[in-house]
Amino acid sequence: MRISAVVLAAGLGTRMKSNIPKVLHKILGKPMIQYIIDTIKSIKPEKLIVVAGKNIKELKEAVSWQNDIIIFVKQTVPKGTGDAALKALPQLKGFTGTVLIVNGDTPLITKSTILNFLALHKKRKNQVSVLSFESKEPSSYGRILRDEKGRVISIVEQRDASEEQKKIKEVNSGIYAIENNALNLLKKIPLNTSKGEYYLTDIIGIAKSKGFKTDAICIGLEEELTGVNTREELNLAANTMRYRIIKKFLESGVTFIDFGSTFISPSAQIGHGTTIYPNVIIEGFTTIGEGCTIYPNVRIVDSEIKDKAIIKDSTLIESSIIKSNAIIGPFAHIRPGSVICENAKIGNFVEVKKSIIGQGTKASHLSYLGDAKIGNDVNIGAGTITCNYDGKNKYITTIEDNVFIGSDTQLVAPVKIGKGAFVGAGSTITVNVPPDSLALSRVEQKNIEGWALKRRLKEKRNSKK
């Protein structure tokens, strides 16, 4: 079966009350239209055309980077879904096969529903089909009108429907299959004067009246076919999608302590045997390995967490790699470009930025490690700071294997601490430390015996006067 697809995304989205195009509103961090595009891509269409409006530039920027096969066409003035579909026609010249037209605001539709719909369209030898479903709340949808024998006649929009027609529960999903020899019918759609738009829905009545084999295929589930027009509908769709993703992971062996408070990106992966505590947010293209534990209030963005890593409470990890058996947190911040190697430990109130932390290395408390290359089995004492920035440029701190950095140390970069060296607590290190040596930069301690006793006695005498 030869398929090409058209996604309609040029509407104003007025009901969203937003400055961003409706189809770019996100569900679990992914633009609504990207869901449709991914689903359509999975059925491998010959062409994938997106009809965009005045926000075509934003739309291209948001989705092009992962969708090189898309052809964008512009509908300069949003004159309705019928007019939008017409704009794709020049791109379909010479195409022989079935054209799938889909509203861009139906993000929950699944591949299997689309394939079922196309298979029935083909099997019944239809030339024009619309995918319909029974809605409990049909108010915003076009109603499917059928004759006494149940044959489809046309679609009527809510605003044009009679009281009797408004009671019909079978509605239009906004998904159509049209054979290439029926595409010219798009040109026959008249202006609907009540709204001043060309309705794509009219193609059903037109096709029928001109003797084309036309049908409404009622196989859809409302949960999948909800059109998102308002922010409330966006939230409801997000809830459905959220549960769908979590269900997939539950089935593959991931434990959720409270899935109702967990948000997982549709692009994330999680290995089996991993446990996710409440209030965890996993965003973007994050992968989490097997047997990991992610404790409460953790957010992980575009990162890779390898097997058996432990992420303790209230930690933020961004665009970084955490290798196997590493332990991060509680209250740690791993900023972009960091790699925390196997068995390393990053503890309370430690911030790591664009740094490599070697195997078995520990930075357990209160530190800032930025632009640092830290070797294996290094101990970073509490309160260590890499001074990586002079107000203009950033510099690198290198700490080789088996180094011990005493607490409250400042390492003024660029600086290198050689293998096996010791840095005494409270030091400010400004020059390189050779391997296996001790570096100390603090003022030598002086004890004055009896000083405190003398002071107290003096104070006592003064108070008696």
The C-alpha torsion from 186 through 191 and 195 to 199, rounded to 10°, is -10
- Residue 88 binding target from Ca ion, ligand UD1, none, CB below 5 to 8 Å by type: none
* Binding characters for ligand UD1, 202-231, by CB under 6 A (x = yes): -------------------------x-x--
> How buried is 460 (Cβ within 10 angstroms: 0-12 exposed, 13-18 middle, 19+ buried)?
exposed
Q: Which is nearer to Ca ion, 227 or 271 (CB)?
A: 227
8 Å CB contact between 419 and 437: no
Among 6, 10, 63, 346, binds ligand UD1 (CB under 6 A): 10
Name the minimum Å distance from CB 104 to ligand UD1. Answer: 4
Q: Which residue is nearest to ligand UD1 (CB)?
A: 142
Positive/negative CA dihedral, 51, 53, 56, 58: negative
Q: Which of 193, 230, 232 lies closest to 14 in space, CA to CA?
A: 230
Name the minimum Å distance from CB 84 to ligand UD1. Answer: 3
> How buried is 153 (Cβ within 10 angstroms: 0-12 exposed, 13-18 middle, 19+ buried)?
middle
The piece of 87-95, 102-110, 205-213, 385-393 that touches Ca ion (CB under 5 A) is 102-110
251 to 39, 108, 163, 230, 246: CA distances (angstroms): 21, 20, 45, 32, 9
Among 24, 37, 84, 369, binds ligand UD1 (CB under 6 A): 84
221 alpha-carbon distance from chain centroid: 25
Name the minimum Å distance from CB 119 to ligand UD1. Answer: 22
Give yes or no for residue 259 binding ligand UD1 (CB under 6 A): no
Among 67, 110, 165, 229, binds Ca ion (CB under 5 A): 229
Name the minimum Å distance from CB 63 to ligand UD1. Answer: 14
Cα gap 81→140, rounded to integer Å: 15
Name the minimum Å distance from CB 10 to ligand UD1. Answer: 3
- Residue 380 binding target from Ca ion, ligand UD1, none, CB below 5 to 8 Å by type: none
8 Å CB contact between 239 and 262: no
Which sequence positions are flagged as catalytic?
Answer: 365
Q: Which is nearer to ligand UD1, 59 or 413 (CB)?
A: 59
Rg for the chain, CA atoms, rounded = 32
Q: Which is nearer to ligand UD1, 191 or 257 (CB)?
A: 191
Among 104, 138, 227, 381, binds Ca ion (CB under 5 A): 227
Among 3, 5, 8, 300, binds ligand UD1 (CB under 6 A): 8
Question: What pairing do the DSSP bridges indicate for beta strands 333-334 and 304-305?
Answer: unpaired
- Residue 81 binding target from ligand UD1, Ca ion, none, CB below 5 to 8 Å by type: ligand UD1
Q: Which residues contact 202 (CB under 8 A, 6 or more apart)?
A: 82, 154, 155, 189, 190, 192
Name the minimum Å distance from CB 233 to Ca ion. Answer: 9
Give yes or no for residue 104 binding ligand UD1 (CB under 6 A): yes
Q: Which is nearer to Ca ion, 12 or 69 (CB)?
A: 12
Give yes or no for residue 117 binding ligand UD1 (CB under 6 A): no
The piece of 228-236, 336-344, 413-421, 438-446 that touches Ca ion (CB under 5 A) is 228-236
Q: Where are the alpha helices (DSSP H) in 162-321?
A: 163-166, 202-209, 222-225, 231-251
Cα gap 402→420, rounded to integer Å: 5
Give yes or no for residue 13 binding Ca ion (CB under 5 A): no
Q: Which of 109, 89, 111, 120 lies closest to 1 in space, CA to CA?
A: 120
Give yes or no for residue 200 binding ligand UD1 (CB under 6 A): yes
In angstroms, how far apart are the furthest CA atoms of the chain?
118
Give yes or no for residue 141 binding ligand UD1 (CB under 6 A): yes
Q: Which residues bind ligand UD1 (CB under 6 A)?
A: 8-11, 23, 51, 75, 78-81, 83-84, 103-106, 141-142, 155, 157, 171-174, 199-201, 227, 229
